[in-house]
Structure formats: structure tokens, C-alpha cells
Amino acid sequence: PNPVRDVLNVNIEHSELRLINLFDLNGKLIVSANTNQSVFTYDMSTLSRGTYILKVIQLENQKSKEFKVIKVD
């Protein structure tokens, strides 16, 4: 798990185009963004405390990885 208080920073290897999705545990999409930057930043300060799922998808080959993100106060 990756604890976050206010700002989620995602460091991305290789600056390929990627889709980044953040979901709550009910499957509700919180944010979706395309990026080819090496760092993606999202302000989670307004979200409720709890566990979220971060999904990073490489758009070129559709490979994906999921990470648990824990929002703390």
C-alpha cells in the first residue's frame, strides 16, 4: 500500500503515453488522465480517507499495473 495525505505523485518509467485511472473500492472512477510525462500528480486532499486503486495502462501495448493507494488524514 502507498499512503497519501494530500498529493499523489506517480513516477513513471519511460515517457510513453499512458492512461492513469484512480478508482474507489466501489469501482467508481475518481480521475482519468492521459499523460506522457515522467511524473503524474493528483490532489487527493478533498477525497475521503480510505483505500483507492490506481491503474496505469500503457496505451501502446495495453499492459497495465494496479496499485493500492491509502488516503490518510
Q: What is the pLDDT of residue 43?
A: 96
Rounded CA-CA distance 44/50 in Å is: 11
Kindly write down the DSSP assignment for every residue of 23-39, as one continuous string: EETT--EEEEEEE-SSE
Contact 43, 4 (CB under 8 A): no
Q: What angle do CA 25, 26, 32 make, to 5 degrees?
A: 80
At 31-66, the pLDDT tens digits run 999 998 888 999 999 999 999 999 999 888 889 999
Instruction: For residues 2 and 37, give the distance between their C-alpha atoms in angstroms, rounded to a whole number.
Output: 21
pLDDT number for residue 2: 80
Give this prediction's pTM. Answer: 0.88
Between 36 and 69, residue with greater pLDDT: 69
Q: For a pLDDT cut of 90, what percent of the chain falls above it?
A: 67
Q: In terms of DSSP bridges, do strands 50-58 and 64-71 run parallel, antiparallel, or are they unpaired? A: antiparallel
